Amino acid sequence: MKMDFAKIRQRYDDTLTKDVIPFWENHAIDKQYGGYFTSLDRDGSVYDTTKYMWMQWRIVYMFAAFYSSRYSQPQFLDIAKQGYDFLTKHGKAEDGSYYFALNQKGEPTIAPYNVFSDCFAAMGAAELYRATKEQKYADEANSAMRNYLRRVNSGNPAGRWNKAMPAKTAYQSFGMFMMIANLALVMKNCLGNDEYQADADRTVDLVLEKFWNPELKLMFENVCEDGTFDLESCQGRMLNPGHTLEAMGFLLNYLRQAGRTEHNEKILAIVKRTLEFGWDQKYDGIFYFMDALGKPHLELQADMKLWWVHNEAATTALLSYVISKDETFLAWFDKLDKYSFSHFADPQYGEWFGYLNRQGEPTHYLKGGKWKTFFHLPRYLMSVSDLLGELV
């Protein structure tokens, strides 16, 4: 398959540096109180001042990462540091975990029930340490990382904020475990230590063995605590192709940097199967949620097409090609690249739409909110550009 990797790479770099980064740099920074606005309308105007912690920390992470990259600009570090200062001053609960949301001034508005606030705090602080070598950032990264691992391994990450009753089926959640390999890699690359390698190695085995259903050849989002698959409920049968593809990318990256290949064959097979299963044969694009047995889904947005799903799918497809040289993956990258740039990009105001209906039409014109921020899109653009650089 013939592709002009240099030309495609230039398009990714231009989109990142002339479109996506300036959009958030110009509109997201709260110059009055600190932190960031993430609820941005199509034109970048702020429509809600709530500060969701896991969105805030992702911005810290990305600007710190860009400061340490070939895209570096001096102001990127200042943007990341002011966010860190605001979040560490206002965002911590008594037990050291991070609240889910603050108001504009920094007063907590939603309890620390969600473990991903800690997850992205670890990533953001770690990247700031790489950029500055200031010990306070490493200390905060380790504190947040240990909190994340403690909560995930407890079996009750929400702690006293868990609203489930005893009769509710207890599951292990794929999303919480899939992040550990990525977090361990960020910690190693930024802090220079292997403290979390054992956790990451256990996660690789857990993800590939416990959540993968070998009979259906599908990666499940929820698995019963005893390791069985619940095919009698919507939650038990739930599939999230974007999560699976993102996780396989994490695992491939982690193992690749460690020089290990023993899991590659299985991971690549999972990537290929998920791309085939998750692709909408009628309207193109990858479904948001699916049911393992093709039954109705409780989530009404299940057939929508989301930006982050396609960002992660394209990144993992290209990484799979770089590792395997199997042109099936290159063809998938090409298909995802064409779909994404033709459906999500907003040529009028810049940045990308996040939410399309099944037919590929925008359902929301916002550029950021409770779930979308400066993270998946810029990370995808940078990661794909780096991979294309290897191919060039």
| Whole-prediction pTM | 0.97
DSSP 8-state assignment for residue 20: I
What is the distance between the alpha carbons of residues 165 and 298, in angstroms, rounded to a whole number? Answer: 20
pLDDT at 164: 83
What is the distance between the alpha carbons of residues 296 and 290, in angstroms, rounded to a whole number? Answer: 9
Q: Which of 368, 374, 351, 343 is nearest to 41 (CA)?
A: 368
What is the distance between the alpha carbons of residues 113 and 157, in angstroms, rounded to a whole number? Answer: 8
Mean pLDDT of 52-63: 98
Q: Which two tokens stand for residue 169?
A: 């089926």
pLDDT at 168: 87
Q: What is the pLDDT of residues 117-145, one digit of tens each?
A: 999 999 999 999 999 999 999 999 999 99
CA distances from 262 to 90, 259, 292 (A): 44, 10, 28
What is the distance between the alpha carbons of residues 120 and 69, in angstroms, rounded to a whole number? Answer: 19
Mean pLDDT of 159-176: 87
| Cα distance from N-terminal residue to C-terminal residue, the chain | 14
Q: What is the pLDDT of residues 338-372, one digit of tens each?
A: 999 999 999 999 999 999 999 999 999 999 999 99
CA distances from 360 to 16, 175, 280, 350 (A): 23, 26, 11, 18
41-52 burial code (b ≥16 CB/10 A, e <16) = bbebeeebebbb
User: 220 and 174 in contact (C-beta within 8 Å)?
Assistant: yes
Residue 159 has pLDDT above 90, yes or no: no
Q: Where are the beta strands (DSSP E) in 105-157?
A: 108-110
pLDDT at 308: 98
pLDDT at 148: 95
Instruction: Return all residues near 215 (Cβ < 8 A) that are at least 6 apart.
Output: none
User: 129 and 141 in contact (C-beta within 8 Å)?
Assistant: yes
Backbone angles phi, psi at 312, to 5 degrees: -70, -40
Is residue 46 helix, strand or coil? strand
Is residue 279 helix, strand or coil? strand
Q: What is the pLDDT of residues 36-57, one digit of tens each?
A: 999 999 999 999 999 999 999 9
Residue 158 has pLDDT above 90, yes or no: no
The interaxial angle of helices 307-324 and 264-278, nearest 10 deg, is: 140
Mean pLDDT taken over the chain: 96
User: 379 and 308 in contact (C-beta within 8 Å)?
Assistant: no
Mean pLDDT of 62-83: 98
Q: Which residue has the tokens 């790479």?
A: 9
pLDDT at 1: 83
Residue 161 has pLDDT above 90, yes or no: no
